[in-house]
Structure 1
Amino acid sequence: MASATPKEIARELPPLLRVYTDGSVERFLGSPFVPPTLEDPETLVSSKDVVISENPSISARVFLPKVDHQKKKLPILVYFHGGAFCLESAFSFLHHRYLNIIASEAKALVVSVEYRVAPEHPLPAAYEDSWEALKWVTSHSRNERKDGEAWLIDHGEFTRFYVGGDTSGANIAHNVCLRVGGEALGGVRIAGAVLAFPLFWGSEPVLSEPVEGHEESSPMRVWKFVYPDAPRGIDNPLINPLAPGAPSLATLGSRKLLIFVAGKDDLRERGVWYYDAVKESGWQGDVELVRVEGEEHCFQIYHPQTHNSKGVISRIASFLV
């Protein structure tokens, strides 16, 4: 019997994924999907999946901590998962475990957005999906939706409304904050944004980023792969918030920002650069930078039980007040 003809590679993004000429995609990294849980045995947090839009396909996993809901409502965190815009999911093991912990520690209702990812859905799909999800969540603040999500209506406190994410998800959180600065969310204001190890980049190195190899850097390759038609390429304002013509950071529609950088993360200088730029922009909110030395990119998601990870999670919990 003749062996099957090997599939032909159309393009690839080592070591993350490969696209074949038949349109199929093979992902080499990322954690498996897991179902929601009625009551997580470790955190006692319950979760369920909800549909936000059928066309385009947008959904979310909602996390509800076990607290006395009769006494007071809970802060809301709309979370955008990381994964270079092409990996991971709101339904994947790593983010499910991590947001169970966040919901439990912060006593917050968390909405983890399942946006469409590249290469099947190149950018700007993820940005548009995330904005639609944000509008869907805030539509519950008026308590007028007959088809609404009961956990949001019954337990969500929209005067304590936050957004956040890790790496590419932190990039999305930044961009929705900019968009909120110019578009209404039904009277809901973003109280704060958590940007954990945010993915920003540009054509020129900043601070102490190395000059050699910048053109072949991982963020450069990722951006070209997930948004091949991006106007102005790597200096598109979505990835480079200080690019010529980018919206002023003074217009960020959030009252406070919490930014994390890690000592062994290639994105660390870009996070510091962003923090400095926000401070110098004339923005009227409060911004804090937390440096975690000796750690890798997004360590708190991969190893949430370590001392430094617990410190990050505790700091996020205290931010969501």
Structure 2
Amino acid sequence: MASTTKEIASDFPNLIRHYKDGTVERFYGSPHVPPSLHDPETGVSSKDITISHNPLISARLYLPQNQTQKLPILVYFHGGGFCLESAFSFIDQRYLNRLVSEAQVLAVSVEYRLAPESPLPAAYEDCWAALQWVASHSINQEGTSPKEPWLFDFGDFDRIYIGGDSAGGNIAHNIAMKAGVESLDGGVKILGGFVSHPGFGGSKPIGSEPKGEDFAKFCRFWNFVYPSADGGIDNPMINPMVSGAPSLAGLGCSRLLVCVAGKDAQRDRGVWYYDSVKESGWRGEVDLFEVEGEEHCFHIVYEKEDTENVKKMIKRLADFLV
């Protein structure tokens, strides 16, 4: 009798397993939830839209209640190690509802392609395409209907922000770097970006990062999501401070907020990134915000919604998005 056991290509216990036949099992992530026309807790409305059919890129849009004026636009990139989670997940819906309500912004949360089915740089390409799609709404073409009424009616294209947490923070950095060398539609500029608990790494662990086998596992994980990356874990996309990486002075935004958490294993690399931006000669305004005693992305994965530290984190992000 032939064996029905499938051969495993890559396995990261409790996270994700990739089989040689191409199938994938994901063991981590919050359930998908539908958008809401009026969230009962925040009053925020959300809806799902398709940005591109080939490749398939979609997004969840968020709009605060009772809008009569133009709002800052936040293009948001979710976390999940480039291979997990979704813009349509419960935890991201809860987080964006709260952030949009407090900050009074119009948010576009991008559903980008995930590894290993679509390895990096697919996620970077999708997020750049989504930002370009948003920027294209700044061009008023007479006789044509707007692509997305929420953006056209309520978006302030002089106040475009990008931001993300964990892998999304990594994406936000790389999108800002790309915006420093490539133009956005309509001549739109990124006013600011937040890089929260960013997913950066390198071939040598620093400070708070794990050592030994745990560090080797992190390196293998990067090779899993981006197997073709030149330089492996020292590719500038994951290690923007590596020797020979493009200068951080090229960041294509005017303001930057770097957020770290005191108990996060990636905390020290986030601080190093902040220091490196400050020392790069970049002409923008950069700030560091740390919440002590908290773990990686505590403000998104929290179970108790109203802890003081969650409130503090959401308020700091909201104060940035003005």
* TM-score interval (norm. to shorter): over 0.9
Report the Cα offset of residue 147 of structure 1: 5.1
- CA separation in 1, counterparts of 2:65 and 2:315? 18
Report the Cα offset of residue 13 of structure 1: 2.0
Q: Which residue of 1 aligns with 2:154?
A: 155
Report the Cα offset of residue 251 of structure 1: 0.8
Report the Cα offset of residue 218 of structure 1: 4.7
SS in 1 for 2:190: coil
Report the Cα offset of residue 270 of structure 1: 0.5
Larger deviation, residues 121-130 vs 15-24: 15-24
Q: Which residue of 1 aligns with 2:130?
A: 133
Q: Which residue of 2 aligns with 1:280?
A: 279
Report the Cα offset of residue 4 of structure 1: 8.3
Q: Does 1:312 align with 2:313?
A: yes
Identity across matched positions, percent? 60
- Give 1:204's aligned amino acid: K
Q: Which residue of 1 aligns with 2:249?
A: 250
- CA separation in 2, counterparts of 1:204 and 1:30? 29
Q: Which residue of 2 aligns with 1:85?
A: 82
SS in 2 for 1:265: coil
- Give 1:188's aligned amino acid: V
Could you list the runs of 5+ residues in structure 1 that have no partner in the other structure?
Answer: none
1:132–1:211 distance in 2 versus 1, CA, 3 Å: closer
- CA separation in 1, counterparts of 2:46 and 2:312? 24
SS in 2 for 1:191: strand
Report the Cα offset of residue 320 of structure 1: 0.6
Could you list the runs of 5+ residues in structure 2 that have no partner in the other structure?
Answer: none
The one-character-per-residue Cα deviations of 1:91-142 (angstroms, maximum 9, x if unpaired) are: 1111011001111010100000000000110000000011000100010011
Q: Which residue of 1 aligns with 2:48?
A: 49
- Give 1:202's aligned amino acid: G
- CA separation in 1, counterparts of 2:210 and 2:290? 23
Q: Does 1:112 align with 2:109?
A: yes
Larger deviation, residues 156-165 vs 8-17: 8-17
Q: Which residue of 2 aligns with 1:220?
A: 219
Q: Does 1:177 align with 2:176?
A: yes
1:211–1:171 distance in 2 versus 1, CA, 3 Å: closer
The counterpart of 1:103, out of the listed 100, 103, 108, is 100
- CA separation in 2, counterparts of 1:33 and 1:218? 28
Report the Cα offset of residue 22 of structure 1: 2.6
- Contact 1:167–1:199 under 8 Å retained in 2: yes
- Contact 1:13–1:221 under 8 Å retained in 2: no
SS in 1 for 2:75: strand
TM-score normalised by structure 1 residue count: 0.95
Report the Cα offset of residue 214 of structure 1: 7.2
Report the Cα offset of residue 15 of structure 1: 2.7
Matched residues, number:
317
The one-character-per-residue Cα deviations of 1:51-80 (angstroms, maximum 9, x if unpaired) are: 11000010100000103x32x211100000
Larger deviation, residues 272-281 vs 4-13: 4-13
- CA separation in 2, counterparts of 1:23 and 1:16? 17
TM-score normalised by structure 2 residue count: 0.94
Report the Cα offset of residue 7 of structure 1: 2.9
SS in 1 for 2:205: coil
- Give 1:173's aligned amino acid: A
- Give 1:253's aligned amino acid: G
Q: Which residue of 1 aligns with 2:36?
A: 37
Q: Does 1:299 align with 2:298?
A: yes
Q: Which residue of 1 aligns with 2:229?
A: 230
- Contact 2:18–2:24 under 8 Å retained in 1: yes
Q: Does 1:6 align with 2:5?
A: yes
Report the Cα offset of residue 14 of structure 1: 2.4
Larger deviation, residues 167-176 vs 218-227: 218-227
